[in-house]
Structure 1
């Protein structure tokens, strides 16, 4: 069995040092990126994610090995070229996991945690779900099926998560054009964390931004549209437990409403956030189209 290090645990000192440097730098630039209560909540979410990860990781490893040992179609050797392949395969999987997490409320219930901060800094990267690790791994199950070793998969997933730490900052404006064209960057990811209608559900990239450009979900950060971080309806709490589970509460509250059909109960689980069975809800596409229409009218005046 191949053994690979848990690079996330080794990276924790780097996370701390990087946040201290960012605090000093952003204070000098008067960016006001950090707010004490918000950052403490983000760090608490990160600690909870690591602790619960000891349980969820066991489930993920068991699932990967079960598929790999019993159903794999091929056996891909652990060598240099297979790491190239899994880099793209993992990033492709992450894109679709991330995109569907914004389009299906069942997955949004765990992913919303990461978007709940109204600030954007390196501590925001640590604001991670306490529930997602138990079921979102299904987007990666095809990798052991085609023959990638579970150890390789977990290592590449960690590399992707580690990469995404540094892009949670306002301290970096733009990277070189060639880098912005290929990779996910602070500018691209600021868009993803925006609650502005034009920015909603855009830039789902992990490491490579090419998937968003290929599948039509890319949005450039606009100079004239400053990013407003957070949710369309912010949860307004710093309580880590509430942050972790409040959307689960609201989702099940909607699901078990009185006098609605079984179909609509299921729809509250699988439809996008904002969907209402009576047609009164607004989805991100509705909000974006309204914004674009108003923008067009402003330009015509």
Structure 2
């Protein structure tokens, strides 16, 4: 398995990403918006670099496990255009469940929150990723694909293409896209996902295909009359990429490892329960019995 395949794929897309950011910046500036700030752009790109480095190291370390797991595959797929399309759809299905779990399981949210912590919605927000995804276990959601029978190298490639597509939905200059809104994740759908408006929280988890949200009851249409408030309930207020990466880990582990008398099942809930459970405990400054 080529451990640098994801990084190489995203690197090849980099010129297109750059062109889109320049166009977006010029359009927003012409409209009088100040969505781009140098401090945030530097922070977002730093987070992207740390994320890619962590993913590369993790893939190298996990490669023997992936290849070992692949030997127990149920089927053998030759890599044809048809099987790659099937793999793309299946990987997007598993991405939906990873993304949904990342909003409802604190251990996963501790990584994913970095992506949501920006109060802006522009193309650079797509680069706002966490280096702790390998630790939280994002890769576990791709292992069923290897057991089914897709080669690990193909899985890594499709994951990279999925993430590459998602760059293009992080913008507010693109309005609704007609019939495409019925099938694909679009900027309109993803703006909803990044909102902290009560009507929009924990909705639209799609990677590429919005059909998963529609099938599983997590879809909400963007309302033209509702001004979107981007970010998270408790803002980080820091351009330091390490603060952005680790602030929720600190909250989670402080609660779970507290010296206060706390039942073991409560400590487990701080780690693997809903993030809201831990947030409520942190607000009160006490453990919950």
Same fold, TM-score > 0.5, yes or no = yes
Quote the residue 2:287 is aligned against. none
- Give how far 1:16 is off: 1.9
Quote the residue 2:277 is aligned against. 275
After TM superposition, the structure 1 stretch with the greater mean CA deviation from structure 2, 193-202 or 60-69, is: 60-69
- Give how far 1:53 is off: 2.3
Q: Distance in 2 between matches of 1:52 and 1:280?
A: 29
Summarize the alignment of residues 236-255 of structure 1 with structure 2, pairs less than 5 Å apart. Answer: 236-255=237-256
- Give how far 1:36 is off: 2.3
After TM superposition, the structure 1 stretch with the greater mean CA deviation from structure 2, 43-52 or 123-132, is: 43-52
Alignment gaps of 5+ in structure 2: 285-289
Alignment check: 8 A CA contact 1:275 1:281 kept: no
In the alignment, which of 28, 38, 41 is matched to residue 40 of structure 2? 38
Alignment check: 8 A CA contact 2:47 2:128 kept: yes
Q: Distance in 1 between matches of 2:280 and 2:153?
A: 47
Summarize the alignment of residues 1-301 of structure 1 with structure 2, pairs less than 5 Å apart. Answer: 6-69=8-71, 71-134=72-135, 135-176=137-178, 178-257=179-258, 258-276=260-278
TM-score between both structures, scaled by the size of structure 2: 0.91
- 1:258-298 deviations in Å (ceiling 9; x for gaps): 1110000001111111204987979xxxxxxxxxxxxxxxx
Alignment check: 8 A CA contact 1:38 1:119 kept: no
Q: Distance in 2 between matches of 1:11 and 1:229?
A: 26
Q: Distance in 2 between matches of 1:280 and 1:244?
A: 19
- Give how far 1:52 is off: 2.1
Alignment check: 8 A CA contact 2:252 2:278 kept: no
- Give how far 1:166 is off: 0.8
Q: Distance in 2 between matches of 1:276 and 1:156?
A: 34
- 1:216-240 deviations in Å (ceiling 9; x for gaps): 0001111121111100111111111
TM-score between both structures, scaled by the size of structure 1: 0.88
Alignment check: 8 A CA contact 1:33 1:170 kept: no
After TM superposition, the structure 1 stretch with the greater mean CA deviation from structure 2, 34-43 or 109-118, is: 34-43
Alignment check: 8 A CA contact 2:35 2:122 kept: yes
CA, structure 1 residues 200+147, in 2 after alignment: closer, same or farther (shift >3 Å)?
A: same
- Look up the SS of the partner of 1:166 in the other structure: helix
Q: Distance in 2 between matches of 1:276 and 1:45?
A: 25
- Look up the SS of the partner of 1:233 in the other structure: coil
Alignment check: 8 A CA contact 1:195 1:230 kept: yes
- 1:93-151 deviations in Å (ceiling 9; x for gaps): 10000000000000000000100111110000001111103421101110010101111
Alignment check: 8 A CA contact 1:49 1:130 kept: yes
After TM superposition, the structure 1 stretch with the greater mean CA deviation from structure 2, 57-66 or 185-194, is: 57-66
Q: Distance in 2 between matches of 1:129 and 1:198?
A: 26
- Look up the SS of the partner of 1:198 in the other structure: coil
Alignment check: 8 A CA contact 2:185 2:207 kept: yes
Alignment gaps of 5+ in structure 1: 283-301
Aligned residues between the structures: 280
CA, structure 1 residues 277+83, in 2 after alignment: closer, same or farther (shift >3 Å)?
A: closer
